[in-house]
Amino acid sequence: MNHDSNDSQKVKLTGEEIAKHNSRDSCWVIVHGRAYDVTEFLPEHPGGPKIILKYAGKDATEEYEPIHPPDTLDKYLDKSKHLGEVDMNTVEQEEKEEDPDEEARQERIKRMPILEQCYNLMDFEAVARQVMKKTAWAYYSSGADDEITMRENHNAFHKIWFRPRILVDVEKVDTSTTMLGTKVDIPFYVTATALGKLGNPEGEVILTRGAKKHNVIQMIPTLASCSFDEICDAAEDGQCQWLQLYVNKDRAVTKRIVEHAEKRGCKGLFITVDAPQLGRREKDMRSKFTDVGSNVQSSDSSGDSVDRSQGAARAISSFIDPSLSWKDIPWFLSITKMPIILKGVQCVEDVIRAIESGVHGVVLSNHGGRQLDFARSGIEVLAEVMPVLRERGWQDRIEIYIDGGVRRATDIIKAVCLGAKGVGIGRPFLYAMSAYGLPGVDRAMQLLKDEMEMNMRLIGCSDISQLNPTLIDTRGLSMHTAMVPHDTLGMNVYDPLIGPKEKAKL
Amino acid sequence: MNHDSNDSQKVKLTGEEIAKHNSRDSCWVIVHGRAYDVTEFLPEHPGGPKIILKYAGKDATEEYEPIHPPDTLDKYLDKSKHLGEVDMNTVEQEEKEEDPDEEARQERIKRMPILEQCYNLMDFEAVARQVMKKTAWAYYSSGADDEITMRENHNAFHKIWFRPRILVDVEKVDTSTTMLGTKVDIPFYVTATALGKLGNPEGEVILTRGAKKHNVIQMIPTLASCSFDEICDAAEDGQCQWLQLYVNKDRAVTKRIVEHAEKRGCKGLFITVDAPQLGRREKDMRSKFTDVGSNVQSSDSSGDSVDRSQGAARAISSFIDPSLSWKDIPWFLSITKMPIILKGVQCVEDVIRAIESGVHGVVLSNHGGRQLDFARSGIEVLAEVMPVLRERGWQDRIEIYIDGGVRRATDIIKAVCLGAKGVGIGRPFLYAMSAYGLPGVDRAMQLLKDEMEMNMRLIGCSDISQLNPTLIDTRGLSMHTAMVPHDTLGMNVYDPLIGPKEKAKL
Amino acid sequence: MNHDSNDSQKVKLTGEEIAKHNSRDSCWVIVHGRAYDVTEFLPEHPGGPKIILKYAGKDATEEYEPIHPPDTLDKYLDKSKHLGEVDMNTVEQEEKEEDPDEEARQERIKRMPILEQCYNLMDFEAVARQVMKKTAWAYYSSGADDEITMRENHNAFHKIWFRPRILVDVEKVDTSTTMLGTKVDIPFYVTATALGKLGNPEGEVILTRGAKKHNVIQMIPTLASCSFDEICDAAEDGQCQWLQLYVNKDRAVTKRIVEHAEKRGCKGLFITVDAPQLGRREKDMRSKFTDVGSNVQSSDSSGDSVDRSQGAARAISSFIDPSLSWKDIPWFLSITKMPIILKGVQCVEDVIRAIESGVHGVVLSNHGGRQLDFARSGIEVLAEVMPVLRERGWQDRIEIYIDGGVRRATDIIKAVCLGAKGVGIGRPFLYAMSAYGLPGVDRAMQLLKDEMEMNMRLIGCSDISQLNPTLIDTRGLSMHTAMVPHDTLGMNVYDPLIGPKEKAKL
Amino acid sequence: MNHDSNDSQKVKLTGEEIAKHNSRDSCWVIVHGRAYDVTEFLPEHPGGPKIILKYAGKDATEEYEPIHPPDTLDKYLDKSKHLGEVDMNTVEQEEKEEDPDEEARQERIKRMPILEQCYNLMDFEAVARQVMKKTAWAYYSSGADDEITMRENHNAFHKIWFRPRILVDVEKVDTSTTMLGTKVDIPFYVTATALGKLGNPEGEVILTRGAKKHNVIQMIPTLASCSFDEICDAAEDGQCQWLQLYVNKDRAVTKRIVEHAEKRGCKGLFITVDAPQLGRREKDMRSKFTDVGSNVQSSDSSGDSVDRSQGAARAISSFIDPSLSWKDIPWFLSITKMPIILKGVQCVEDVIRAIESGVHGVVLSNHGGRQLDFARSGIEVLAEVMPVLRERGWQDRIEIYIDGGVRRATDIIKAVCLGAKGVGIGRPFLYAMSAYGLPGVDRAMQLLKDEMEMNMRLIGCSDISQLNPTLIDTRGLSMHTAMVPHDTLGMNVYDPLIGPKEKAKL
């Protein structure tokens, strides 16, 4: 059969024909009702060939959908390999294997708690963990190496304690502030996170709607499941959005993206600088492995052929430019009027350099603990940065944000007391969205607002501008304490005290 | 049927009639044998409408009783809605649903340990947790947010160690001291805690009797289940009581309360300053939720309608004035001759301001960890305050108390060594009362006295006045140490040492 | 029947007669084949009347034996109440109730590990815990209050790390040293512990023999189960023993004891100064409670009648003088030529005072964590003391010992490096004795010697005199770190990393 | 029967004859098809006589093989006791006892995860623990005393956090460096570990091949299961190897070994200085005990006869010279041109002395936590050493290595940032080899390389030379924090927060 041009296709392809191309030698797949010849692309697939071969000759849409932005095939597969429309009626519906894990998950979904039972951001995570698909959960919840930085991010807030003031009139509490000139209801924004459709079929636009409702800013991710325009379109009039940017090796592509974002009304350009290479996340890798190979003894188990299919993160990020450097900053300043913020700064030296380079802000961040394990938490870096800036009188020359580990309004207050303009929150809203959709995101934001108002009162401030360093005690913040390992024998032989025993049953 | 005036009611209402008003559109309830029309009050109920609707057309006394002070209905429900007496014989006795939780609790009560098995304050808590109603336990035991401050309160004492003196004649040990001029047997007082009837049907008067027996002072709570006068009446001649005050938005009400307390002989006015809004306590909220809605899927689960019924704490505190400020202090000083103590001070700056404002004392307190999470423990704040006061020579200008986390006589000794006049103890006596009534409170206090005498001996002091800062080592106190998260993989793969194995069974 | 004089008794008493006196009104008991009328003594019994009444009219020998030194009845019960010999053939053998706990223990004894399986001191404790009687275990293993000091005692050694030297000739290692002029094989002594017969029917003489074999010193306890002379008699020629002394309210008694000890050849007088009152040990109290009352609902459960029967410790110590003070020291120096050592010193101020008072040594000790909870460990106090003494040039004016928590030769080395002359070890030898008798004690000491020789080599010292402070790193020692309580929700929702999964079973 | 000379043996020995010599009085054993009379050697056997007697009159090859280097019998058993070849057909095949532990292990081997499921070095350990023989696992995994140093070794890295730099061009990352003049791909080497055949029948040559493939250096252990020459022979042309040396009491032996190594091309001589006596490792001892004696009640259980058969470590090391000292260093410098490195230095004083003594390097090491418990980690000592050297300008006078606890590339980076030339890795490769053979070692090294490249990028360095101390935060490193023991009662009575509950099953 001959396909001269898939653009001018007359006859739809049949499932039967496609099914013949089910091997490494000739591999066709169907995505969204169209067929593609990916034989030559197999070795280049960032996610590895295995996962494609699983769908060789079949419909791959369900697996493909959440991980690939809508324009992926156009961008990465030569037009000549686009084979054209398929008559989906001729495609055999594959009977799904019974999957006891999936059945158990469906059971958990039936019994999931109702939304009102979520009283804080952790609760959404607890529910999401139960009801999300294993691979989706692994992608969202995983961090670098031993996930020590990931957990430290929230832990670090535990080292900061309050010194509240009493007898302050807090009848009226105003939690609003501004970020890069935009007025917002509360000092957090929805930070960029990839692959929203893993959690909810609608994807990132749900976050757009939640952000609108609570008047906070959404940062649009480069690696969204929805296309950039879909997310912009979902915003209402006057709603502020920012763009998170992974810089492409091809600067023309980057320029096009930036100019387009500015045209669509984005009010800030957040250039990610902590990810010259996207991290290894073993939870993610392990979840994927199980999917495609758990029952097959590897035929070639020499170390040589280390399987490069390392989870979703690596699969979607091969375009990122690891040579990006300070030299590129003037160019960015030249191509856009949007304020430019460096996202992922991790020490005071680089904050100073950022100021000197003329950018408008920094996000002290370790990428949610997903990149370098043992990177310090944003809040700890903030405590290092601010005294140095204040000494130089530079504290107002840029806006400083942090992200990572924010789960409570007290976390936000601590950051603002230390000198941050606001904080980014990512995973918690993903979990709320994954578990409950828009109502989940809505309630998550409302809970934060409720906590914020109450805690402002309890710390004795009626206004964001009153938050200042004398309200917190950060003496413990910089210590990285790891205990002396205990002696197993001693621990085991100690006979612990017990409380009063109830009477024996008669 | 016509009710012209409920004051001059001739005919009692019947259960049958009341039962008709069982909906949101017309909602009557019976409390203590009288009927009330709460239809219009429903949306204003601080505890939310749900919990009332559960009893629409029925007798709500059992649920109502412990949470509402006796004068609640008179105060908050317009007289026109007081429908008058009900012929309780006509009210259908509702057959209680079998509740497996309640049955298990009754079983636990049958087998509860006898009082002599309680050897310390923690033991009462262990028993109370088993035998109290779930909602009552949740109200007493809950704290703010992640309950970190609540637990830190006792933990903080673990960072203070003794430097005892030897070869001091301690044959006779005198643990008595004075508080605001009143001589007491031991440096603690019963601090104010709300809703005593949740734990015991008699309520706070049990604490009054216990305090009398051991010659310690009771602080009467604004939010007691018993009325203020009932608690005063329970005191014996010469027994000292203090008043804890939540300041009402209506200052006339507050003035009336203060003047009345002074008239009834109260010897101290403790104004709560750490609670412009009563805290969110999720354990409490969750316990309540389960009660009224666990099996119903919310019909409207949009985040909008965040359920405001947030546990007992919020339900009972809507009158508290969040605009209370330092400006109000002179007025308080003008309306009473009782010494005025600010309860809930949390940093040295505010202690200094308190002294300057002319009050007679402060309680360094975070409200039992029920208000602001990450507020520091009273004992830690005390260690911050005293050196500053001593430097100014101000250490004797006011009396300083702390509360929160006191469980052992060693805790009391540590506080007095640091410079406190005494400590407040709340929950432990509630638990003792809930589990064993007055004998429980009595034994709890006696245990503290026994511990106190012994530990005074062991630290080498025969008299409270000898307690001083050189007897303790507080170097670790101010550190807020949170560990570096461990590496899960490394922890799991370590093969722990084990002791000698017993011989195999033959 | 008439008993004019029990000294000149002609006819033995019969079990039948004694059995009549089985109540509070007339209470006789048999001990070691003789009858005693304890009716009047009941309320004075330090262990409470209950435990005696359990044996009213019966043979109490088995219960009495391990807790009371041999001369107890002579000392504390008036001769007129000694009723004389009993014809034991007439005493009904009580059939023991089946006790499932005891049966389980007997089963554990049958399967106990053989001695060679104990590789360190903790191992003996692990075995003893399985095979000892519950009350005996409770008495030995319990500590004050929350047992925090008891556990800290060993933990504190974990904060001291080594700075070993390499390339030192350690072919021959000599671990011998001197203590108060006596040459010993290794710098530890067997410290005084009470009630040795609880663990082994022979009691403290087993420790005497073990000490002889390994050429270390035994400190004879005042509260031994064996009499002082029995323990002296068990010593071989030239074997050095010390006397631990609780000072009696009656100084004549004390003088008699001291003079007798000197006459019998004791080479040191260790006056316990940390126990004006013997501690409350709740594990001990609870174990006793269960024994005598667990199935009886207390008839009178008012707090008033706090049961004063508070475990073995309180029962045996009522004679101790709480008025002992520095003023008594000259008198002690005047009545004996033995060197005097204060046992239980806990801060540098008191060490200085001890030196000034002319005594010959101190033991930095908190009584094995059995007295004041939150007393600091001996090793920590040592680190506080030595720099101050060295500054004054006083480091050689007395000998300084520590005890508490020593389990490894490394612990001994750390103490000697810091400046101690040696360490006392108590419980570990009791456990070894309780589990395996003399062979257990022998092996425990041999293991310590083996560890000592090896670790001296590994730290690069061939001689005790080479141990010095530069060989250890004590920077962490003085910190009393208690963690910020973790957030339960966050901890629970974290999805820990897991290792590779094995293949599913086919 | 007469055996004039085993060299000129004519007739093979029969199994039947050998079987007669099966007692302590006459004990013959077969090893690799030859018989040996070990009767007189029994009491000298470093592993104790018991284990030999188990094989008296039988074939001991399987037990003998992995623990004894090939030339052992020649070296330690007089030729006259070499009885000559055995006709193995005449030797009765012993039916192996069914061993449920071994059966379970075989079952685990069948289901072991495939190699691709190992994503980091800990994963190999997790698999090895499942599939290795118990005694082999015990020998590899055990450490000294309570294994606190062993665990601290990795833990210490957790106290060092990164201060990464952003916007550095890291497109090309070069992880290569040099060690003692040899260029290597990545700054780690395979450090010396004993008894490779316990993990894999081929032994250390597998590590040789892995090292070659990844261009890193292998250090050949004195106590290898393979002979030195076998390991040299396994190296390919130009492959660099070092020699680890335990110094023999007989210096002539040592000289022969060193000269031979130099002749065979070794490029570095690492003299172990932290093991004048090989450590007690209780896990190892316990595993051995169970093997030979668990069901026998020791007939002589007096402490006297402490069983000296203390695991593999002690068995193989009796030749090591404990008198080795600084005085020997000039002699070593005189007998070889290889650079000399002291392995096991543990404080800055000894590093200075090493430099002064003219050696070329040191390894800061505590022997993998197998020698002195509470020895500090190599990384901590490094942080102590480097500032002192830099102050003196001596940082380049020697090469400094560390080993112990390295599991992640981030650990390597931390060490190099602090000033190490590289790190040694031991156990992880043993585990990889034990579980998966060469492919395991290969993959383990590849994983480290992958991690290294990524983490260099993420820290902002493209070259090893750029790693420097400003990239890390080591403030927490020197603290040896042990927590205040928690109060058991308080911990138990706290009612932890829980997340939302799922709906009850209908």
- DSSP codes, C424-480: EE-HHHHHHHHHHHHHHHHHHHHHHHHHHHHHHHHHT-SBGGG--GGGEE-TTTT--
> Is residue B269 within 8 Å of residue B336, measured between CB atoms?
yes
Lowest mean pLDDT across B312-316, B393-397, C249-253, D432-436: B312-316
pLDDT exceeds cutoff 90 at B289: no
Query: In the structure encoding, which two tokens stand for residue D354, read together?
Result: 């090493």
Q: In whole angstroms, what is the distance from residue C457 CA to residue D323 CA? A: 10
Using the beta-carbon criterion (under 8 Å), do D286 and B498 form an inter-chain contact?
Answer: yes
Q: Give pLDDT tens digits for B457-481.
A: 999 999 999 999 999 999 999 899 9
Chains with at least 3 CB pairs less than 8 angstroms from chain B: A, C, D
Interface of C with D in 189-218 (CB under 8 A): 213
Q: Which residues contact C130 (CB under 8 A, 6 or more apart)?
A: B502, C105, C108, C112
Q: Give pLDDT tens digits for C42-54.
A: 887 767 788 888 8
pLDDT: is A292 or B496 the higher one?
Answer: B496
Q: Which residues contact B123 (CB under 8 A, 6 or more apart)?
A: A499, A500, B117, D489
Predicted confidence at residue B17, as pLDDT, reads 92
Chain region(s) in chain B for CATH 3.20.20.70 = 135-278+316-473
Strands annotated E in D221-279: 241-245, 269-272
pLDDT exceeds cutoff 70 at D122: yes
Lowest mean pLDDT across B255-259, C77-81, C345-349, D68-72: D68-72
Stretch B97-120: mean pLDDT: 91
Using the beta-carbon criterion (under 8 Å), do C372 and B458 form an inter-chain contact?
Answer: yes
Predicted confidence at residue B505, as pLDDT, reads 62
> What are the chain C neighbours of A497 within 8 Å (beta carbons)?
146-147, 282-283
Predicted confidence at residue C308, as pLDDT, reads 41
pLDDT: is A147 or A63 the higher one?
Answer: A147
- Percent of residues, chain B, with pLDDT higher than 70: 91
Most confident of B24-38, B327-341, C284-298: B327-341
Interface of B with C in 374-413 (CB under 8 A): 408, 410
- Percent of residues, chain C, with pLDDT higher than 90: 72
Q: Give pLDDT tens digits for B13-38.
A: 999 999 999 999 999 999 989 999 99
Predicted confidence at residue A230, as pLDDT, reads 94
Q: Which fold has domain D13-90?
A: Flavocytochrome B2; Chain A, domain 1 (3.10.120)
> What are the chain C neighbours of D280 within 8 Å (beta carbons)?
119, 450-451, 454
Using the beta-carbon criterion (under 8 Å), do D503 and A342 form an inter-chain contact?
Answer: no
Stretch A282-301: mean pLDDT: 54
Most confident of A352-361, B4-13, C12-21, C75-84: A352-361
> What are the chain C neighbours of B207 within 8 Å (beta carbons)?
none
Q: Give pLDDT tens digits for C321-340.
A: 999 999 999 999 999 999 99
Predicted confidence at residue C294, as pLDDT, reads 31
Chain region(s) in chain C for CATH 3.20.20.70 = 135-287+315-473
CATH homologous superfamily of C135-287+315-473 equals Aldolase class I (3.20.20.70)
Chain region(s) in chain D for CATH 3.10.120.10 = 13-90
Rounded mean pLDDT of chain D? 89
> Is residue B245 within 8 Å of residue B291, measured between CB atoms?
no
Model confidence at C35, in pLDDT bands (50, 70, 90)?
very high
User: Residues A64, A123, A367, A442: which is the catalytic one?
Assistant: A367
pLDDT exceeds cutoff 80 at D10: no
From C122, C146, C492, residue closest to A490, measured CB to CB: C122
Stretch D143-169: mean pLDDT: 96
A301 touches chain C (CB under 8 A): no
Which CATH architecture fits D135-284+314-473?
Alpha-Beta Barrel (3.20)
Three-state secondary structure call for residue D269? strand
> What are the chain D neighbours of C417 within 8 Å (beta carbons)?
none
Chain region(s) in chain A for CATH 3.10.120.10 = 15-90
Return left, alpha or beta for B31; rule: phi > 0 is left, psi -120 to 50 is alpha, else beta.
beta
Interface confidence (ipTM) of the complex: 0.89
Q: Give pLDDT tens digits for B118-142.
A: 999 999 999 999 999 998 999 999 9
Stretch B195-206: mean pLDDT: 94
Predicted confidence at residue D460, as pLDDT, reads 97
Provide the whole-model pTM.
0.91
Q: Tell me how many degrees the CA angle D429-D433-D436 measures, rounded to the nearest 5.
A: 130
Interface of D with C in 345-364 (CB under 8 A): 345-347, 349-350
B120 touches chain D (CB under 8 A): yes
Using the beta-carbon criterion (under 8 Å), do B164 and C346 form an inter-chain contact?
Answer: yes
Query: With b meaning 16 or more CB within 10 Å and e meaning fewer, what string describes D403-415?
Result: bbbbbbbbbbbbb
Predicted confidence at residue B74, as pLDDT, reads 80
Minimal CA separation from D274 to chain C, in Å: 6
Predicted confidence at residue A180, as pLDDT, reads 98
Rounded mean pLDDT of chain B? 89
Predicted confidence at residue D4, as pLDDT, reads 45
Predicted confidence at residue B297, as pLDDT, reads 33
A505 touches chain B (CB under 8 A): yes
Question: Which residue in D has a C-alpha nearest to residue B140's C-alpha?
Answer: D495
Please spell the DSSP secondary structure of A80-117, one letter per residue.
Answer: GGEEEEB-GGGSPPPPPPP-HHHHHHHHHHHTPPPGGG
Minimal CA separation from A141 to chain D, in Å: 17
Predicted confidence at residue C9, as pLDDT, reads 67
Helical (H) or strand (E) element with D57:
none
Residue linked to tokens 């450090």: D191
CATH of domain A15-90: 3.10.120.10
Predicted confidence at residue A304, as pLDDT, reads 35
Q: In whole angstroms, what is the distance from residue C326 CA to residue C328 CA? A: 5
Model confidence at D315, in pLDDT bands (50, 70, 90)?
low
Q: Give pLDDT tens digits for B263-283.
A: 999 999 999 999 998 888 998
Predicted confidence at residue B1, as pLDDT, reads 40
Stretch C394-414: mean pLDDT: 97
CATH of domain B135-278+316-473: 3.20.20.70
Predicted confidence at residue A298, as pLDDT, reads 36
C106 touches chain B (CB under 8 A): no
Q: In whole angstroms, what is the distance from residue D145 CA to residue D149 CA? A: 9
For residue D423, the cross-strand partners are: D188, D402
Lowest mean pLDDT across A94-103, A152-161, B152-161, B306-315: B306-315
> What are the chain B neighbours of D293 within 8 Å (beta carbons)?
none
A274 is catalytic: yes
Stretch A334-343: mean pLDDT: 98
Predicted confidence at residue B50, as pLDDT, reads 81
Lowest mean pLDDT across B169-178, B338-347, B492-501, C416-425: B492-501
Predicted confidence at residue A197, as pLDDT, reads 93
B488 touches chain D (CB under 8 A): no
D274 is catalytic: yes
Predicted confidence at residue A406, as pLDDT, reads 98
Model confidence at C289, in pLDDT bands (50, 70, 90)?
low
Predicted confidence at residue A10, as pLDDT, reads 72
Question: Which residue in D has a C-alpha nearest to residue B123's C-alpha?
Answer: D489
Chain region(s) in chain D for CATH 3.20.20.70 = 135-284+314-473
Minimal CA separation from C256 to chain B, in Å: 21
Query: In the structure encoding, which two tokens stand for residue D248, read together?
Result: 């023999």
Predicted confidence at residue D487, as pLDDT, reads 87
B288 touches chain C (CB under 8 A): no
pLDDT exceeds cutoff 90 at B336: yes
pLDDT exceeds cutoff 50 at D177: yes
Q: In whole angstroms, what is the distance from residue D430 CA to residue D129 CA? A: 11
B154 touches chain D (CB under 8 A): yes
Predicted confidence at residue A312, as pLDDT, reads 55
Rounded mean pLDDT of chain A? 89
pLDDT exceeds cutoff 60 at A7: no
Model confidence at D71, in pLDDT bands (50, 70, 90)?
confident
Please spell the DSSP secondary structure of C174-204, one letter per residue.
Answer: B--EEETTEEESSSEEE---S-GGGT-TTTT
Q: Give pLDDT tens digits for C450-470.
A: 999 999 999 999 999 999 999
Model confidence at C293, in pLDDT bands (50, 70, 90)?
very low
Using the beta-carbon criterion (under 8 Å), do B129 and D295 form an inter-chain contact?
Answer: no
Q: Give pLDDT tens digits for B432-463.
A: 999 999 999 999 999 999 999 999 999 999 99
Query: In the structure encoding, which two tokens stand for residue A492, read together?
Result: 């085991």
Minimal CA separation from D443 to chain A, in Å: 4
CB atoms near residue D327 (< 10 Å): 11
Predicted confidence at residue D293, as pLDDT, reads 33
Query: In the structure encoding, which two tokens stand for residue B249, read together?
Result: 């938005």
Testing the interface with D: which of C121, C441, C458, C506 to mutate, by most D Cβ within 10 A? C458
- Percent of residues, chain D, with pLDDT higher than 90: 72
> Is residue C132 within 8 Å of residue D305, measured between CB atoms?
no
C495 touches chain A (CB under 8 A): yes
Predicted confidence at residue A436, as pLDDT, reads 97
Question: Which residue in D has a C-alpha nearest to residue B406's C-alpha?
Answer: D490
Model confidence at D314, in pLDDT bands (50, 70, 90)?
low
CATH match for A136-289+313-473 among 3.40.50.10140, 1.10.287.130, 3.20.20.70, 3.40.50.2000? 3.20.20.70
